[in-house]
Amino acid sequence: MLPSFSFQRTFSVARKELLHIFRDPQTLFFTLVIPIVELFMLGYAIDTNVRHVRTVYVDYAGNQESRRLLEQFENSQDIRLVRRAYSQQEASQLIVAGEARIGIIIPQNYSERLQAGETAQILVLVDGTESSIAAAAVNISNAITLRESLIRVLGDRRLPIEARPRVLFNPDTRSANFFIPGLMVVMCQMMATMLSANAIVREKQAGTLEQLFMTPVRRGELIIGKMVPYIVLTNLEFCMIAFLMRIFFFVPIRGAFITLLLITFPFVLTMLGVGLWISTRASSVDAAGQLAMGTFLPSVFLSGYVFPLDSMPWILRQVSVCIPATWLIDASRSVILRGGGWRELWQHSLVLWCMAIGMLVFSSLRLKKKLG
C-alpha cells in the first residue's frame, strides 16, 4: 500500500532546495541581481518618447517668415536645430553621416508664395532607419506647418476648433510607467521557468534523482517540495520590483496590490508547470536554459510588454491570447496605473487558473512517465 501524502517529507524537500539556493552564488545572482539591473536599465536608460531630435536646416529664403517657421520647429521641444547647411545635398550628407536625423529645406520663394496667398512648400528630409523617429518627425512637421497655416489664414481670430488632449493614468507619458509593470511579469516568468526546470534537471544530471526515489519521499512530494521555494522566491521578487518601482521611479500604485498578487499566483504556477515540462525534455542544465529562453521570447514580443497588441496582425493577436504573460501584464498595468480591481480583472484570474491547472497536470503526467 502506498504511503499517504506527508507534509513533513514535503517540507524536508523544500528545506533542502532552499538551502541549495542560498549556497549557490549563481542562483542567488540570477534571483537578486539580474531583476534589479533590468529594472534600472529600463527605468533610467530607455525612453521611447522622441525628444530633441537632431535637425539640420537649409534656409534659402533667409528672411523673417523663414526664421519664424524655424523658431516654431525649435520651440516644439521635440526638434533640436544643431546646424545650418547651405544646400540640400549638404543636408543629405549630414543625415547619411548620422549627424542629424531630420533636414528642413526652406525654398527661396517661401515668403513670396505666402504673400501671394499660394501654398508654400517646404521639404523635410527624414532618416527612416529608425521608424519611431521617422513617424514622430513626420507628425511634428505636419502639426507645425498646419498650425502656421491656420495662424496665417485666421490672423488674430481664434481657432474655430481646438483639441485639448488629456492623457489619463500617465500624464507625462513616462516610459518607466509603461515598461516596469510589464517587467515585473517578465522577470517572474524567467525566474520561475528557469529555476524550476533546473531543479529537476540538476538532480538528473548529478544522478541523485534515483537516490531520492529510494527514500520514502513520493514523486508528488518531491515535485511539490522542489517547487514551493520557487513559488515563494518568485512572489518575493515580484514584490521587490514593485517596491523599487515605487521608491526610485515614483510609479504610483493606484489599485489594490493584493489583487495583483492574487492574480500573479496562478501565473507563477503556470510558469512552474512550463519549467517541469522543460525538465522532461532537457538532459542538462544548459539544454534546460535554452528551452526556457525559447518559451521566454514569445512572452517578450507577443504579450504587449514591448509592442502594443493593437498594432499586431490579427493572427498574432490570437496567438498572444494563449500566452500567460499577456493576461498578467494587462492586469499589472490595470492595477498599477489605471486602479483596476477584481471586478475588471476576474476574467484574467480565471484564464490564468485554467492555464495553471492544465499546464501542471500535463507536466506532472509527462514527468511521471519520464521518471517511470
Residue-level pLDDT at 156: 66
Q: Are 267 and 185 in contact (CB under 8 A)?
A: yes
Q: How many CB atoms lie within 10 A of CB 13?
A: 21
Other beta carbons within 10 Å of 182: 22
Residue type, 275: G
Q: Is 357 helix (H, G, I), strand (E, B) or coil?
A: helix
> Domain map of the chain by residue range?
7-46+173-371, 53-154
Q: Are 268 and 231 in contact (CB under 8 A)?
A: yes
∠ Cα 173 177 181 (to 5°): 150
pLDDT score recorded for residue 1: 38
Euclidean distance between CA atoms 194 and 201, whole angstroms: 10
pLDDT of residue 371: 62
Query: Do 260 and 266 form a contact (C-beta atoms < 8 A)?
Result: no
pLDDT of residue 84: 93
Closest CA to 178 of 350, 315, 333, 20: 333
Relative to beta strand 123-126, strand 102-106 is antiparallel
Q: Furthest-apart CA pair in the chain: how many Å?
A: 101
Cell 496562478 locates to: 266
How far, CA to CA in Å, does 200 sit from each of 184, 206, 241, 247? 25, 10, 27, 37
Q: Does the domain spanning 53-154 belong to CATH 3.40.1710.10? A: yes
CB contact at 8 A, 363 and 273: yes
Residue 226, burial from CB neighbour count under 10 angstroms (0-12, 13-18, 19+)? buried
pLDDT in tens, the chain (372 residues): 345 677 788 888 888 888 888 888 877 787 788 888 888 888 887 777 778 889 999 999 988 888 988 988 888 878 899 999 999 999 999 999 999 999 999 999 988 888 887 888 899 999 988 888 888 888 888 888 877 777 777 666 776 777 788 888 988 888 889 999 999 999 999 989 988 888 888 877 776 666 666 677 777 787 888 889 999 999 999 999 999 999 999 999 999 999 999 999 999 999 999 998 998 888 888 888 888 888 888 999 999 998 889 989 999 999 999 999 999 999 999 999 999 999 999 999 999 999 999 999 998 888 777 665
